[in-house]
């Protein structure tokens, strides 16, 4: 589904990703862990096409397409969902309006019929219920006045509504208390744990991985994947720390 | 306000950012042409207007000059609401002088839009002369090209006008380099138990919000429209008439769509 080869990315003058290779197949959940400054967020933004994140070398193929050749909104329509570490406020635009425009823009790009107002609201209610987010929250402006936990849950509702093929979730667990972590983790499992979908979880900590069990764990350090293992690698990291595990 | 015997110049405080050259197209008599809106005590009056040079409703030539001068008197406990869009003319100005009775309210929601070398402005002077009157003014300016949007808002609160509550909010959104927006809030307060707020910001499109929208599949043209619509919507939040609100929003968005 996703094949990253020799990816180099610069932000400003600084090269952050220095030849990253990664392959994710349908039905798999991958976790990427790594110390601060390793390039975890840069990887998610490079995949999402954020302006200012310049890919200088390498290739990314997604669902058989050259991902780097697509505009950010085309990547979303192709089935890529980027979960933001810091979800952005959009004043004056309600979640309902935002998501309906997004869902229908994606459908249009794929040559599908738009959802009617009724169809959309039904879908939104289902997904909000799954994440235990009150529908009233969806009538409010996008992320405006939301707590950290509410923003992350709202992101997962977005993911549920947009139904991507691949979700790249950048520190979705940050800012969540234990109960919210469970709700968000269950949401990821319900929405994305499917044979035709895949997840790339970027995280600092093991705790989300207790709910969303990864098939593979990669350690990212200094812009490259330096070690790959199974779910036990995350446990080992938690007890021994990055330095010890990376040397081993 | 201005001496009708001569044209205003940029040295006049109230005309500081105006396109005074374009004024020469007007007859000097026009400057004395004040229209009165008198609201009787306890009554409510509402007017909505669109100044446009696009489509069938055109009321000013795209190279023309438009001057509206209103003199509003609101009796005790009365309420006057004005909502408008200025989206036409080379230079268009809506000037409003308001005198508020005891417990009266003045509401203004205005939007200026324009590109090329146009200048569009709201100029208000609100006099709180009696206790407990309130006023609320929300102006949004969206400009591109070499377009300019201005808001000059003066509030006078006399010594006896205790419990006055006056608010002004101006925000300018510049879509292109070269466009400009000017805000001149001016508060003269001689009473001590009053609440007066004013805020003015000028900025560009929030690119992070646009990227966030793109990451969810919304193309750049659509995200720009949604953000601008949200931005100007502030001015009509307090317009309690859906049909009129739609009419004003549509007029503004039509103007934008010609540009976006």
Model pLDDT for residues A93-129, shown as the tens digit of each residue:
999 999 999 999 999 999 999 999 999 999 999 999 9
User: Chain B residues with CB inside 8 Å of A109's CB?
Assistant: 217
A22 lies in which domain range?
2-247
Q: Which positions in chain B touch A88 (Cβ < 8 Å)? A: 208-209, 211-212
Contact yes or no for A3/A175 (Cβ under 8 A): no
Residue A185 has pLDDT above 80, yes or no: yes
Give which of B171, B215, B232, B252 to mutate to test A binding, by max A Cβ within 10 Å: B215
Distance from CA of A33 to the nearest CA of B (A): 23
Query: Which of A51, A89, A101 lies at the smallest CB-CB distance from B222?
Result: A101
Q: Please give the angle made by the CA atoms of B101, B106 and B108, to the nearest 5 degrees.
A: 160
Q: Show the domain range for B77.
A: 13-204
Structure token digits, residue A229: 């293992």
Q: pLDDT band at residue A244, thresholds of 50, 70 and 90?
A: confident
Domain-located, residue B108: yes
Per-residue model confidence as pLDDT tens digits over A14-48: 999 999 999 999 999 999 999 888 999 999 999 99
ipTM for the whole complex: 0.95
Place B54 in a pLDDT band, splitting at 50, 70 and 90.
low
Average pLDDT over residues B29-33: 87
Instruction: Number of A to B CB contacts under 8 A, please give it.
Output: 74
Q: Which of A49, A89, A102 sits opposite B216 (nearest CB)?
A: A102
The bridge status of strand A53-62 relative to strand A65-66 is antiparallel
Please count the structural domains in chain B.
1
Q: Which residues lie across from A32 on neighbouring strands? A: A202, A218
Would you state the structure tokens that stand for residue B225, as one six-digit string?
Answer: 């429209």
Mean pLDDT, chain B, integer? 93
Q: Which residue has the tokens 């590109």?
A: B115
Closest by CA to A230, choosing from A246, A219, A243, A244, is: A219
pLDDT digits (tens, 9 = 90+) for A50-100: 999 999 999 999 999 999 999 999 999 999 999 999 999 999 999 999 999
Q: How many domains does chain A have?
A: 1
Yes or no, beta carbons of B229 and A92 under 8 Å apart:
yes
pLDDT of residue A119: 96
Cβ distance A198 to A165 under 8 Å? yes
Q: Using CB atoms, which residue from B219, B229, B231 is nearest to A105?
A: B219
Nearest CA in chain A to B235: A92
For A88, the closest of B208, B220, B231 (CB atoms) is B208
Whether residue B142 is predicted with pLDDT greater than 90 in this model: the reply is yes
Q: Residue A58: name the closest of A14, A22, A99, A107 by CA.
A: A22
User: Is the Cα dihedral B242, B227, A108, A116 positive or negative?
Assistant: negative
Residue B63 is assigned to a structural domain of this protein: yes
**Cβ A90–B212 below 8 Å, yes or no?**
yes
What are B's interface residues with A at a Cβ cutoff of 8 A? 206-209, 211-220, 222, 226-227, 229-231, 233-234
Query: B181 pairs with which residues across the strands?
Result: B149
Give the pLDDT score at B58: 67
CA distance A71 to chain B (A): 8
Please enumerate, as own/partner, the contacts of A66-75 that have beta carbons within 8 Å and a separation of 24 or more.
A67/A2, A71/B214, A71/B219, A71/B220, A72/A48, A72/B211, A72/B214, A72/B215, A73/A105, A73/A109, A73/B213, A73/B214, A73/B215, A73/B216, A73/B217, A73/B218, A73/B219, A73/B220, A74/A109, A75/A47, A75/A48, A75/A49, A75/B215
Question: DSSP states of A139-156 as a string?
Answer: HSEETTT--HHHHHHHHH
What is the model's pLDDT at position A88? Answer: 96
The CATH number of whichever domain residue A175 belongs to comes to 3.40.50.300
pLDDT score, position B62: 79
Residue range A202-218, pLDDT digits in tens: 998 888 999 999 999 99
Q: What's the mean pLDDT when you consider all of chain A?
A: 94
- For residue B57, the model assigns a pLDDT of 62
- CA B193 to each of CA B155, B167, B190, B203, B224: distance values in angstroms, whole numbers, following the listed order: 15, 15, 9, 33, 43
Question: What pLDDT band is residue B120 in, cutting at 50, 70 and 90?
Answer: very high
A193 or B57, which is more confident: A193
pTM to 2 decimals? 0.88
Specify the 3-state DSSP secondary structure of A97: helix
pLDDT value at position B4? 52
Q: Supply the pLDDT for residue A248.
A: 64
Contact by Cβ (8 Å): A245, A220: no
User: Is pLDDT above 70 for B1?
Assistant: no
Nearest Cα of chain B lies from the Cα of A190 at a distance, in angstroms, of 20
Q: Are A200 and A167 in contact (CB under 8 A)?
A: yes
pLDDT tens digit sequence for B71-88: 999 999 999 999 999 999
Mean pLDDT, residues B47-54 taken together: 90
What tokens appear for B216 in the block? Answer: 């969810």
CA neighbor of B2 nearest in space, from B36, B12, B11, B10: B12
Instruction: Kindly state the tokens that stand for B226.
Output: 């949604």
Whose structure tokens read 């909000």? A128
pLDDT at position A175 is: 83
Strand, coil or helix: A63: coil
Structure tokens at B183: 């805000």
Using CB atoms, pick whichever of B208, B216, B219 lies closest to residue A162: B216
């Amino acid at each position: 589904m996703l094949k990253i080869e020799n990816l180099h990315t610069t932000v400003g003058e600084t090269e952050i990703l220095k030849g990253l290779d990664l392959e994710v197949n349908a039905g798999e959940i991958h976790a990427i862990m790594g110390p601060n400054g390793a390039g975890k967020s840069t990887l998610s933004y490079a995949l999402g096409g954020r302006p200012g994140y310049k890919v200088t070398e390498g290739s990314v193929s997604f669902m058989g397409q050259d991902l780097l050749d697509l505009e950010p909104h085309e990547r979303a329509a192709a089935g890529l969902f980027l979960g933001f570490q810091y979800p952005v406020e959009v004043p004056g635009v309600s979640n309902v309006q935002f998501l309906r425009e997004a869902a229908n823009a994606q459908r249009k790009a794929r040559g599908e019929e738009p959802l009617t107002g009724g169809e959309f609201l039904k879908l939104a209610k289902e997904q909000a219920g799954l994440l235990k987010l009150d529908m009233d929250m969806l009538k409010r402006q996008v992320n405006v006045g939301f707590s950290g936990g509410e923003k992350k849950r709202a992101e997962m509702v977005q993911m549920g509504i947009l139904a991507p093929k691949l979700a790249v979730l950048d520190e979705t667990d940050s800012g969540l208390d234990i109960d919210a972590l469970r709700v968000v983790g269950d949401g990821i499992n319900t929405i994305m744990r499917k044979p035709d979908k895949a997840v790339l979880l970027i995280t600092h900590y093991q705790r989300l991985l207790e709910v969303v069990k990864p098939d593979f764990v990669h350690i990212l350090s200094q812009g490259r994947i330096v070690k790959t293992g199974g779910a036990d690698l995350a446990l080992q990291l938690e007890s021994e720390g990055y330095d010890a595990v990376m040397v081993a | 306000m201005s001496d009708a015997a001569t044209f205003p110049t940029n040295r006049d405080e109230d005309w500081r950012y105006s396109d005074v050259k374009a004024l020469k197209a007007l007859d000097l008599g026009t400057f004395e042409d004040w229209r009165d809106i008198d609201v009787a005590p306890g009554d409510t009056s509402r007017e909505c207007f669109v100044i446009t040079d696009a489509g069938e409703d055109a009321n000013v030539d795209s190279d023309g000059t438009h001057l509206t001068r209103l003199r509003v008197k609101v009796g005790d406990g009365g309420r006057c609401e004005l909502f408008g869009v200025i989206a036409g003319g080379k230079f268009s100005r809506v000037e409003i002088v308001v005198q508020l009775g005891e417990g009266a309210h003045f509401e203004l929601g205005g939007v200026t839009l324009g590109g090329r070398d146009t200048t569009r402005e709201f100029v208000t002077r609100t006099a709180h002369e009696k206790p407990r009157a309130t006023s609320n003014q929300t102006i949004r300016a969206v400009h591109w090209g070499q377009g300019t949007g201005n808001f000059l808002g003066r509030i006078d609160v006399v010594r006896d006008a205790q419990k006055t509550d006056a608010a002004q909010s101006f925000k300018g959104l510049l879509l292109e380099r070269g466009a400009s927006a000017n805000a001149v809030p001016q508060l003269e307060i001689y009473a001590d138990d009053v609440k007066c707020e004013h805020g003015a910001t000028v900025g560009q499109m929030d690119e992070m919000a646009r990227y966030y929208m793109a990451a969810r599949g919304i193309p750049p043209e659509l995200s720009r429209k949604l953000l601008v619509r949200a931005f100007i919507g502030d001015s009509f939040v307090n317009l309690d008439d859906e049909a009129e609100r739609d009419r004003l929003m549509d007029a503004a968005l039509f103007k934008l769509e010609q540009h976006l």
